[in-house]
Structure 1
Amino acid sequence: MELKCLKERCSANLQKYYESKGHQKKQIQSGGFQDLRRDLQAVIGTRANINIAQIENYGGETFLSEELAIVILQDTKHAFERCQLLSKPNERAANATQILDRLINSLLIEHVDYAVELGLQAIPVVEGTKNPPVVYFFTIVYQANNITHLVEKQFMDLVVPLVENTQKYNDCLQKKKFVLEDTERKINTGLDRCLNAVTTWVKLYLQSEQKKSDFKPDTDDFDTVASPACKSVLNYVSGMIKEINTTLDGNNVSAVLQELGLRLHRVVYDHMLQFQYNTAGAMVAICDLNEYRSCCKQMGPLVTELFETLHALCNLLLVKPENLQQVCSEDSLVNLDKSVLHNFIQLRSDFKVQKQNIFLRS
């Protein structure tokens, strides 16, 4: 009777919540086929102007509610308390395990995991440069973590005392662990997709907005400020950094920021290798790198070091040919592979003319 009433109350509260959002719960299609759709969307979506992956962001709705979680947890709390008072000693652990099963199924699977699955499918596939991707998944992670912490607290406060020193204890631990690890795996997949969306847009935007003539201008008359493309990119990236700092917690913040920084560095590095630079163009590149360095200091020491090194590499585009050997021997560059130095030096517009003067000794 206890379990039947608890199940009915949980189901009713879940249904009431989704009805309040005007949402009919869906059968989630995840895995290989849906991932293939996303890949196809990324490849041909722009050209065909069709939504192959059927991506819908629900206007930013996360379909997660801490208020609903508290209602369900209040019901299970009372159920655990009655279990403690009314169960026979030899049945107490088994009864508590069944209540926990209902809590896990109703709150963690039917609510949290469902929202994470929806959020995964709502992460945008970047198809062009017109608008930067709007990412709501970080908010889903934030709310999912808050609800999970509430469940963990009830588990420690109410479940453990009822099942410890019984064979049900490990069963309860494993059930909770299995569900939470599965959700965590999906969250990690989502975070990876978010970072991919951000850096893919940055890559496409820089390719679209920065031309060869920007770094090889015909005149030395230029502003010693970052390019408009760089400013637009960093305005967007700064917003993402703020979002990550606000919605993630603990080590997740530093880990995700570092990964974003590493991917951003790779995009900027590869982008720079596409151009040739005269003196004026090198100054433009250095101005951009100053801004990238400043922004990416928030992403941890490894990312900071990478952008410092990239800034030092940009100096190879600017110094006089006879000073290149000296610059390459400075602390910021001395440990780099010679091929990296050569790749950058070859981007100089005077490389072919001055090749004998600027060729580095192995």
Structure 2
Amino acid sequence: MEKKSQKLEADLRSSGKKHAERIQELQRHQQQAFQSFQDLEERISAVAARVVHLGEQLEGVNTPREHAADAQRLMGYFSEFLSGNINSDVLTNPHRINETADVVRKLHLIAQELPDSNFQEVKLSILNQYKKVEKELLNKFRSAGENNDIEQMQLTAETLSRYQNYQLCVDAYVEEALRQIDVDESIFEQITSLIDGKSSQISKVFNSPEQVLGKLIQSCYDNRLGEFIHHKLDPLKRKNLELYLSECQKLYEKTSALSAALSKHRPGSDSTFTKKLQRSVFDDFISSYLTDEEMFLKKRSKELLDRYYERQGHEKRGLGSEMASKVGSIFGSDNRKVEILISEELAASVLQETHSAFRRCGALSPSNLIAENGLKIFNILLEFLIKQHVQYAIDFGLTQAPSAEPKTEPDMSMFLLVQEANTVWHLFEKQFNDDLLPLTAQSPIHAEAVQARKSMKDAMETSMDSALEKTITSAIGYAKNILKSEQKRNDFLSDELASQATPACRTAVEYLHKVISSMKKHLDGENIDLILIALGGKFYTLIYEHLQAFQFSSMGGMLAICDIKEYRTAAKSLNSVLVDSKFDTLHALCNLLIAVPENLRQVCTGDQLANLDKNVLHNFVKLRTDYKANNLQRLFT
């Protein structure tokens, strides 16, 4: 085994040695091959340099030769013009018009350098030929366009691009394209279709496609679209301002959609190109937009108001203090129904007009004037709807307010008047938020609008508060008249035990419920809570003062307590803790009318009466018929 192992190791060493020698030999061959490749690359580079040098030498020789040949040919053609005998095929063959154009253009450039004194005639001849060729090229371009021969159009346009009146080629193309547009209601779709279709064609035909496409779009706006818009709007502006404004907005919005659709072409990389064209087309109308809008809106608002008052048979009049007193003397009858001159239908009509006006303002006003114009429209709305209609109706209603102490049941229509005024104001505020706010929110002008709204709201609320106060005062005055006329002097002097409230009390409570029902029907929100509290306070004062006018026997005191329970129950429908507390105290005071003399001091120090002024307690005790007989004054001295 050991011998076999040694033999294998010897064989392995022998193989390793042979392998290493083979690798070394391959490395030598690789180095030789790499060196051969480098030598070959250097030789190729040298040959290439010689070829380039030779080519430059040949070109240096050939170019002057070609220039000389061209010059020789041009001199030959020039000689023909000089002699007046033009017979070369290149100058007379109509099928070689592009070659003719190149030759004539070069001769024209040469002729311009020659003095007029010796070459006037030949220069004129070449110029005439120049114009003739140019005209033939334009005709050929038009013909190719009619046949939709793109290749011929491109070749002709390329030739004409080196001529002075190349722009005529562009004009001819645009003119031919515009013939495809009919000036009718479908013009917007036609323009979109035309530009989309011609865009790729222009890219193939002209060297400066963006300029040509811009020229075509501009011509569509300035000529066809401008013609259509003026044709639609000019007659309307003279005859019907409402239709004119509506149609102007409609056309402007359609044009805006067209501009957005065409903006993808962006001629000259100007994304606002079509917007500028749009402003140019509408400039005559937009420059006078606000004047037209104000004129229409004022006229329409006045017409709506006049029509409403005419239907009502009402003649508006100034409501200064002198006029108000005169009107009040005419309408001051307590049982006359207050005339309500607020119309939700009228308000909706006026608001619809201003809604349309705000929309037009956003579309037709220059961007830097949108907020300012929006404020002007808002002021018109404020003037006609709020000042001349709502505020006027409230002020007129105040002149009809019932007296403070009516003898007959007063009209409660003031509550309806306030409800109608609030309804219209809510509609007004909704339009303020929905239509005006988006126009002015980002402008300092918004603060002016908010302040104008606040000032008007404050003035209205002051007038409505006055109307409500007068109505409540009149209602309490009538309740006072009920109690005064129906409450008998000896009602509370009876010795019989009472089982129910007095008739006067029941009548007054019935009327109070009627008033409260009317208030809840027509008022809501914070208004109803505050007004009910005010009514409750006045009603409490009325009952308190009413009781002070009577003398009470013991059984009469019980009857008074029955009345107070009725009053207190009625007052609870006002949902006021303060009013309830007052009537609870009044109920406790009435206990002073029925308590036996020896218990009066204890009653006066009870929970509900302990904090009352001693004079209040004393005044109530004075109402007892036994006040002097039992010397009750001693309890308060």
Query: Hey, what does 2:304 align to over in structure 1?
Result: 13
Secondary structure of the structure 1 residue equivalent to 2:321:
coil
Structure 1 residues 285 and 128: alpha-carbon distance in aligned structure 2, compared to 1, 3 A threshold? same
Conserved? CA contact 2:336–2:411, under 8 Å: no
Conserved? CA contact 2:361–2:370, under 8 Å: yes
Query: Hey, what does 1:348 align to over in structure 2?
Result: 624
Query: Hey, what does 1:148 align to over in structure 2?
Result: 425
Deviations 1:63-99 (A, max 9, x none): 1111111111111011101111111011111111111
Cα deviation for residue 160 of structure 1 reads: 1.3
Cα distance in 1 for partners of 2:636, 2:359 equals: 78
Cα deviation for residue 2 of structure 1 reads: 1.3
TM-score (ref. length: structure 1): 0.90
* 1:105-254 matched pairs, under 5 angstroms: 105-126=383-404, 128-129=406-407, 131-217=408-494, 220-221=495-496, 223-254=498-529
Cα deviation for residue 126 of structure 1 reads: 4.5
Query: Hey, what does 1:305 align to over in structure 2?
Result: 581
Deviations 1:157-181 (A, max 9, x none): 1111111232311111111211221
Structure 1 residues 160 and 288: alpha-carbon distance in aligned structure 2, compared to 1, 3 A threshold? same
Match of 1:25 among 291, 303, 316: 316
Match of 2:568 among 293, 297, 302: 293
Cα deviation for residue 61 of structure 1 reads: 3.4
Cα distance in 1 for partners of 2:583, 2:396 equals: 36
- 1:272 aligned partner, one-letter code: L
Match of 2:596 among 320, 327, 348: 320
Cα distance in 2 for partners of 1:150, 1:309 equals: 44
Cα deviation for residue 204 of structure 1 reads: 2.7
Cα deviation for residue 228 of structure 1 reads: 0.9
- 2:308 aligned partner, one-letter code: Y
Conserved? CA contact 1:123–1:136, under 8 Å: no
Cα deviation for residue 127 of structure 1 reads: 5.0
Structure 1 residues 58 and 156: alpha-carbon distance in aligned structure 2, compared to 1, 3 A threshold? farther
Secondary structure of the structure 2 residue equivalent to 1:90:
helix
Structure 1 unaligned spans of 5+: 39-50
Could you list the structure 1 runs, at least 4 aligned residues long, displaced by more than 3 angstroms after superposition: 51-54, 56-61, 126-129
- 1:256 aligned partner, one-letter code: I
Cα distance in 2 for partners of 1:191, 1:267 equals: 18
Cα deviation for residue 107 of structure 1 reads: 0.5
State how many pairs are aligned. 344
Cα deviation for residue 113 of structure 1 reads: 0.6
Structure 1 residues 165 and 128: alpha-carbon distance in aligned structure 2, compared to 1, 3 A threshold? closer
Cα deviation for residue 308 of structure 1 reads: 0.7
Farther off after superposition, 336-345 or 135-144: 336-345
Structure 1 residues 54 and 122: alpha-carbon distance in aligned structure 2, compared to 1, 3 A threshold? closer
Cα distance in 2 for partners of 1:169, 1:226 equals: 60
Cα distance in 1 for partners of 2:561, 2:467 equals: 34
Secondary structure of the structure 1 residue equivalent to 2:628:
coil
Cα deviation for residue 266 of structure 1 reads: 0.7
Cα distance in 2 for partners of 1:212, 1:266 equals: 20
Deviations 1:240-293 (A, max 9, x none): 111111211111111111111111111110111111110121122111101000
Larger Rg: 2
Deviations 1:308-338 (A, max 9, x none): 1101110110111111122222212122121
- 2:296 aligned partner, one-letter code: C
Secondary structure of the structure 2 residue equivalent to 1:215:
coil
Conserved? CA contact 2:406–2:474, under 8 Å: no
Query: Hey, what does 1:61 align to over in structure 2?
Result: 339
**RMSD after superposition:** 2.0
- Percent identical pairs in the alignment equals 38
| 2:575 equivalent to 1:284 | no
Secondary structure of the structure 2 residue equivalent to 1:182:
helix
Query: Hey, what does 1:104 align to over in structure 2?
Result: 382
Secondary structure of the structure 1 residue equivalent to 2:361:
helix
Q: Which has the higher helix share?
A: 2
Cα distance in 1 for partners of 2:497, 2:300 equals: 69
| 2:605 equivalent to 1:329 | yes
Cα distance in 1 for partners of 2:570, 2:468 equals: 20
Cα distance in 1 for partners of 2:338, 2:615 equals: 46
Conserved? CA contact 1:132–1:236, under 8 Å: no
Deviations 1:184-210 (A, max 9, x none): 111111111111111122223322222
Conserved? CA contact 1:126–1:133, under 8 Å: no
| Higher RCO structure (Cα 8 Å, ≥6 apart) | 1
Cα distance in 1 for partners of 2:404, 2:337 equals: 17
